Structure formats: structure tokens, C-alpha cells
A and B are shown apart, each in its own frame.
Chain A
Amino acid sequence: MRHAILLVEDTEDDIVLTRRALKKNNLTNPLVVARDGQEALDLLLGGVAGDPDPDDLPSMILLDLQLPKVDGLEVLRRLRANPRTRLLPIIILTSSKEERDLVQGYSNGANSYIRKPVDFDQFSEAVRQLGLYWLVLNEAPPRVG
């Protein structure tokens, strides 16, 4: 998963659109998709398989809030509680603009909160800026194992 972008998203259409937006903006990092909260946690924190490779972490996570099994805010809480993923850039990418989601997202340690625009051009622009900022401009946190 090194240098990958982890997309935690259950809507198939949104996955396709995100993939297209990445491609359109020449963001060539591999895209790993987790289709529910549990899958994302398993991927990052290791499931029954035991300790995963400390280096095997994505460069950033695009996290939807409404997810099957474990919801986005809970995923965020557990990732922040684990030293392995405590510093990992996590961007909430959701349709919700509810105040409580914003407050909860930030107070649980999200690095950024993006509301998915309906218009694809705007969405594509958002993905481009996210990639540019978090993968190029921003100095990544050190890896901790």
C-alpha cells in the first residue's frame, strides 16, 4: 500500500468517479478501495493475520462517513487511537455538511473535511487539489511502527 491512496467508500458510482477524477488529474498513485469500515480497519491495523508491515501504509485516506458495518467516524476514532495510524493523513470526503459531522470529524482528528460536490468538474478539482496538497506539497508525518 505504500504511496497508495486508500478510498473508504461503499458507493460503487463514487468509486468509479473518484478513480476517473484521479486519472484525469494525472494522479498515478495506486488506489486501494475499502468498501466498508471494517475492511478499512482490517487493511490498516491488520486483522487476524497479526502485525502488518509498519511501512505498509497508504499516503492518505479518503474516508466517507456513512459506511456499512463500522461507520466513518468510528473508523477515524480507532485509527487515531492506534499509534500505527495516529499521524496518517485522513481526509473526510462526504456528502454531509451537518455541523455535528464537522465537529465530530475534526475533534476525532481528521486532517481535512471535504464535502463532495455534485458537479463532477468541481469534484475533479477537489480531488486534484487534495492530491496536490497531501501527496506533493505537504510534508508527510514520519512512519511509526
Chain B
Amino acid sequence: MTSGKAESRIDVRAERLEGSARCIAGSLAALGLLVLAGWATDTRTLMSGTPRLTAMNPVTAITFVLAAASLWNSVDRRSSAGAARVGVVCAWAVVVIAAVRLIGYVGPDLGIDRLVFPESLDAEPIPNRMAPNTATAFLLAGIALLGLRSMGSRTLVAAHLAGLAVLGISMFTLCGYAYRASGLTQVGEFIPMAFHTAAGFAALSVGILFARPRVGMVDVLVREETGSRIARKLLPAVIGIAPVLGWLRVYGEHRRMYDSSTGTAIMVASWVGVMGATVWWQARVLNRADVKRTEAEREVEALNSKLRRDAIEIEATNRELEAFSYSVSHDLRAPLRSITGFSQALLEDHAGGLDEQGRDYLDRVVRAGQRMAELIEDIMVLSRISRKDMQREPVDLSVAALDVAHGLSESQPQRNVEVDVEPGLVADGDPKLLRILMENLLANAWKFTALQAHPRIEVGALPSKNGERVFYVQDNGAGFDMEHAGRLFTPFQRLHSEAQFPGNGVGLATVQRVVRRHGGRVWAQGKVSQGATFFFTV
């Protein structure tokens, strides 16, 4: 699995959570507005869910709408500065309303929760107020919503912790309603938190946790690691099963199906059974993944050892190649020296005993021997380039080109070649090999412009594409037929006659070897009598 794939899976999960946070925000706003509509129209179902339960205070409903607005635009970090400001203002409003209400419970009561529909509120069986646990939950939620806007991971962890505290308060209240434990729904003798307020807080806290899932504490839910995978599978089970079992127990007891200790026993046994099965199932899944990983590791190990074996083989091949080159340079030259040496000796010491033709034959033997010595030399140059140790570093090709051109014009002062080198051509490669490359390309251009009235050589680079820099050496010399371009870089292949342009046909072969050793490419463009351009990358 590539890390890119893992990244994209994390993205998919995170986006799913962010989407849920948005849905929650939307639903919360709808909840708040519905409750307000209930108060306005005196519709009991909207105000309190069922007629027997406490109604949600209208200010609580308004505060939910504010929290929902803040949550909605905390999800999208690309939202405009204006929208972000609205989010911050809403979160602050939540904090302020909650703080004012809480202060009211211990100190001066400003009656903030009596601002809307005061008559209807006081007409309730218990005067309807925002409950202390509700105000506390809003305070925490407001702080969390403000924290969500931070980029710092510590602040986000704090925001997520505040969100978890809100979740805790709502869970207590919801469980209190589910199990008819009124001690959990209210603080002391104060008015209890309404049922749908508690449900709203549960949703709001989940929204807060899901709004920024890549950072803070929630990243554990979206990551690729084994721990996150277990968490994704076990968490829903843990969250879902316990309340259901608890509710079943309380329900059975109320219906007098069994007594309290039997209920506890059933609940504990079911819990052990369900959780045991879940853990067993997860363990199997993990084990399977483990086995797969071990197999993959073994495969990697096998591939590695094959790679090592291959490397040893290559090393051996290289050594053989080296030995071969050594004997080529050494052993082949010795008999060659005898052939030319003794032929020359014959020519010098016994010229009298030979007629004109005999001397011509011997001359040819000597020349052929010298030519062969040159060929061996060229093979050695090529093989040395292939065997040379490489180091990569930034190399200024412009400096090298100017230096080479200077050397060429010094060795052939009768030639007057215009050499134009673009400054600052820096390539990443082996300085010695790249120098050899420039020497060969420039010598080539120098040679094939010999018959030009105004010979010109240009060294430059194309605009870089995909981070790859293409360098070129261009001349206005003899050029070549593109049909034969494929043979340009083959050792000892020549497109011009020896008489026209002398050479052995190793210059461009050398260039190609240097380029290949760098993992680059080399190619040529040209036209007969219209010059040639050699491009390369390293």
C-alpha cells in the first residue's frame, strides 16, 4: 500500500466526518427553530417532545441555532473571512449567554432566559428557565467552538475535550430520561434539562468532534493504523450496546419481569457475551491482517535477498569486465607492438631487400597496427566511463563548456568558431563524467563546422518541464540525415567519411554512456548541411 493511497483513504474518512458535522449543524438549527415555532404557536409537541416532559427554553433554542451556525462554518476552513467572523461571533454569543445564565444561578439573575415569550414561560407548571446543566453544557460547547477555529493542535485537543465534556453531560441526561433517573437530568432542585435539549447536546458534541477530524483527538478515528481500525469497529459497539442493555434492564424491572439483582445479572451476562464476541471477532480480523502482513514481510525479505544476490552477481560481472578490459589494454597491445615494431624495423633495416610494393605492404601493416591501437584505446575509454565510480553534485556546464571551447581554439588557432554559451547551466551529476560529455559534444560540433564560412556553436538549455532540464549543444555544421539518427550513438559508427571528417566514431558513444550512467537521455536533431543539435538530460 502506498502512502498516497493511505492519505486518500484518510481524506475520504475525514470528509465523511466533516459532512456529518455539517448535517448535525443543519439538524440542530432546525431543532432550535422548530422549538421556537412551538413557543410562538403554543404547540406542546414542538416545545417538549411529549406533553409530560419539560419544554426547551426558547433562549436555549436560540443558543442552539447560534451554536449550529458556528459549527457549520467551522467545518470549511476555506470559508471567507466574513463567514469565519460570523462563526466566531456566534460562538462568543453562546459563551456569553451561558455565562450570564450560570452567574444568574449563583448571583444576580439578569433573566436572560425570559427575554422571549416571558408570559408563556411563566405559565408553565414549573417556570421554564435554561437549566444549570444546560448552561454549563453551552459554556463548554461555546469554548469548544471557539477552540475549533485554532490551528494549534493543543487548542484543538482542548476543544475536543470540551466537546467530550458536553457529550458526557448529555449522556447523563439522556440516560436519566431513559432509565427514569431524575437525579441525572437535573441539578439539585433546579429545573431539569429538556429531553431534546440533551439530544441536541449529544449531536452538538459529536459535531464538534467531527468538525476538524484530521487533528486534535479525533484523528485516531480516521487514521490507517491498526489501532484506528479497531477503534472504528469497536467504538460503535461500545457506544451502542451498553445503553440498549441498560435500557432493557430498567424497562424489564419496571414491567416487573424480574427484580433488580436479576436485571443486573442479565445485563452483566449479556454485556460480557456481546463484548466478548465483539472482541473475539476483532481479534480474528486483526490476526488475519497480521498473517497477511507476515506473508508480505516474508515476500519482501525474499525479494531483498534476491536483490542482494543480484548485486553480488553484478559485482562479479563488473570485476570480470574489469579484468577483461585490463587484458584488452595489456595483452592485445603487446602483439600489436610486435607487429608494428618489427614491420618498422624491416622498413628501416631491410628496405633495400624490398621492392616498392613490398614496402607499401609493410607501410599498410604499420598503419593498420596503429589504427588498431587507437581502436583499443577508444574501447578502453568507453569501458572506463562505464566502470568509473560516480558522485553526484551540482556541476556548472557553462563553465565547463567555455573551458573546453577555450582549449579547442587554443589547439586549433587557425579555426575561428563563434561559441555562445548560456551562463548558469547547472546540472546534477559527476563532474569528471560531465566534463567528458561536454568535451565530446563540443569537439564534435567543432569538427563538423570545419567547412562552414561562419561556424557557430551554441550551448544552452530548454525551459525546464516537470523539473527536468534539457541541455543542448547546437552547431551550424555538416549536420546529418535524420534517417541515420539512430546510429549516431553506436560506437565506431560514422555518418561521414574518414577523409571528410576524421574520427573513430566513439565521441557520441561516449556521450551516450555518460548520459546513461546518469539515468538521463540523449537525442539529436539535424539536417544535411544545416547543422545538428544534441539534446541531453542527466
Which residue of chain A has its CB nearest to the CB of B388? A99
Q: Which stretch of A11-19, A74-82, A133-141 is in the interface?
A: A11-19
Select B341's contact among A66, A95, A98, A123, beta carbons within 8 Å: A123
* Alpha-carbon gap, A96 to B333, bound state (A): 9
Is the Cβ of B338 less than 8 Å from the Cβ of A17? yes
- Counting chain B CB atoms within 10 Å of each CB, which of A13, A14, A116 scores highest? A13
| Cβ A95 vs Cβ B334 within 8 A | yes
**Contacting residues, chain B, for A66 (C-beta < 8 A):** 330
Give residues of chain A (31-58) contacting chain B, Cβ–Cβ below 8 Å. Answer: none
B340 touches A119 (CB 8 A): yes
Chain A residues whose CB sits within 8 angstroms of the CB of B370 once the complex forms: 118-119
Q: In the complex, which residues of chain A have a beta carbon less than 8 angstroms from the beta carbon of B340? A: 118-120
Is B342's beta carbon under 8 Å from chain A? yes
Kindly list chain A residues whose C-beta atoms are within 8 Å of the C-beta of B338. Answer: 11, 13-14, 17
Closest Cβ of chain A to B497, distance in Å, is: 24
Given A17-B341, A20-B345, are A118 and B326 also a contact pair (CB < 8 Å)?
A: no
Task: Kindly provide the distance from the CB of A7 to the nearest chain B CB, expressed in whole angstroms.
Answer: 15
- Say yes or no for B337: interface residue by CB 8 A criterion: yes
B330 touches A119 (CB 8 A): no
Query: Given contacts A96-B329, A98-B326, is CB(A11)–CB(B341) below 8 Å?
Result: no
Partner of B337, one of A96, A98, A123: A123
CB proximity of A67 to chain B, nearest CB, Å = 12
Closest A-chain residue to B333, C-beta based? A95
Q: Is B248 engaged at the interface, CB distance under 8 Å to the other chain?
A: no
Residues of the A chain whose Cβ atoms lie less than 8 Å from the Cβ of B334: 11, 13-14, 95
Contact count band on B = 20 to 34
Residues of chain B whose beta carbon lies under 8 Å from any beta carbon of chain A: 326, 329-331, 333-338, 340-342, 344-345, 366, 369-370, 373, 380
Cα A123 to Cα B338 in complex, Å, equals: 11
Rounded to whole angstroms, the CA-CA distance of A13 and B340 in the bound complex is 11
**A94 proximity list for chain B (CB < 8 A):** 330
A7→B37 CA distance, assembly (Å): 117
Beta-carbon contact of A119 and B326 below 8 Å: no
Q: Which residue of A lies closest to B344 (CB)?
A: A120
- Pairwise interchain contact A118-B333, C-beta atoms closer than 8 A: yes
B-contacting residues, A117-143, CB 8 Å: 117-121, 123
Bound complex: CA A121 to CA B335 (Å): 16
* A97, chain B: closest CB distance, angstroms: 7
- Residues on B with beta carbons closer than 8 Å to the beta carbon of A17: 337-338, 341-342, 345
- A96: chain B residues within 8 A (beta carbon): 326, 329-330
A-B contact count (CB 8 A): 55
Residues on B with C-beta less than 8 A from A98 are 326, 329
Residues of A within 8 A of B342 (CB): 13, 17
Interface string of A83-97 (1 = CB under 8 A from B): 000000000001111
Q: Report which residue of A11, A17, A94, A123 has the largest number of chain B beta carbons within 10 angstroms of its beta carbon.
A: A17
Closest 7 CB pairs of A and B: A118-B373, A13-B338, A120-B344, A120-B341, A95-B333, A17-B341, A95-B330
Instruction: Give 28 A-B contacts (CB < 8 Å), ordered by A residue.
Output: A11-B334, A11-B338, A13-B335, A13-B337, A13-B338, A13-B342, A14-B338, A17-B337, A17-B341, A17-B342, A17-B345, A66-B330, A95-B329, A95-B330, A95-B331, A95-B333, A96-B326, A96-B330, A97-B380, A117-B337, A118-B333, A118-B336, A118-B337, A118-B369, A119-B344, A120-B341, A123-B337, A123-B341
Task: Find the B residue at minimum CB distance from A17.
Answer: B341
Chain B: minimal CB distance from A32 (Å):
21
Q: How far is the CB of A19 from chain B (nearest CB, A)?
A: 11
CA distance A123 to B334 in the complex (A): 12
Q: Which residues of B contact A121 (CB under 8 A)?
A: 344
User: Which A residue sits closest to B347, measured CB to CB?
Assistant: A120
Which residues on A sit within 8 Å (CB–CB) of B345?
Answer: 17, 20, 120
What CA separation (Å) do A118 and B341 show in the bound complex?
A: 7
CB of A14 within 8 A of CB of B337, answer: yes
Given A13-B337, A13-B342, 5 more A-B residue pairs with CB atoms under 8 Å apart are: A98-B326, A98-B329, A116-B337, A118-B370, A123-B341
Residues of chain B lying within 8 A (CB to CB) of residue A97: 329, 380
Cα A94 to Cα B331 in complex, Å, equals: 11
Tell me, in angstroms, the Cα distance from A121 to B336 when the chains sit together: 14
* Residue numbers in A under 8 Å from B330 (CB-CB): 66, 94-96
How far apart are the CA atoms of A94 and B330 in the complex, in Å? 8
Whether A119 pairs with B333 at a CB distance below 8 angstroms is no
* Chain B residues, CB < 8 A from A11: 334, 338
A14 to B329, CA, bound (A): 16
Could you tell me the distance in whole angstroms from the C-beta of B144 to the nearest C-beta in chain A? 71
A98 CA to B328 CA, complexed, in Å: 11
Closest beta carbon of chain B to A134's beta carbon, Å: 22
Query: A20–B341 Cα gap in the complex (Å)?
Result: 10
Across the interface, name the chain A residue whose C-beta is closest to B370: A119
Shortest beta-carbon distance, A13 to chain B, in Å?
4
User: Considering the chains assembled together, what is the distance between the CA atoms of A49 and B93 in angstroms?
Assistant: 113
Q: Which residues of A contact B333 (CB under 8 A)?
A: 95, 116, 118
Cα of A123 to Cα of B333 in the assembled complex, Å: 13
Contact: A119 with B373, CB < 8 Å? yes
A13–B337 Cα distance when bound, in Å, is 9
- The residues of A that contact B329 with a CB separation of less than 8 Å are 95-98
Q: Identify the closest chain B residue to A99 (Cβ).
A: B384
Shortest distance between the CB of B60 and any CB in chain A (Å): 87
What B residues does A116 contact at CB under 8 A? 333, 337
**CB-CB < 8 A to A20: which residues of B?**
345
The smallest C-beta distance from B368 to any residue of chain A, in angstroms, reads 11
Inside 8 A of B335's CB, which chain A residues have their CB? 13
- In the complex, what distance in Å separates the CA atom of A97 from the CA atom of B373? 13
Return chain B residues, CB-CB under 8 Å to A117. Answer: 337
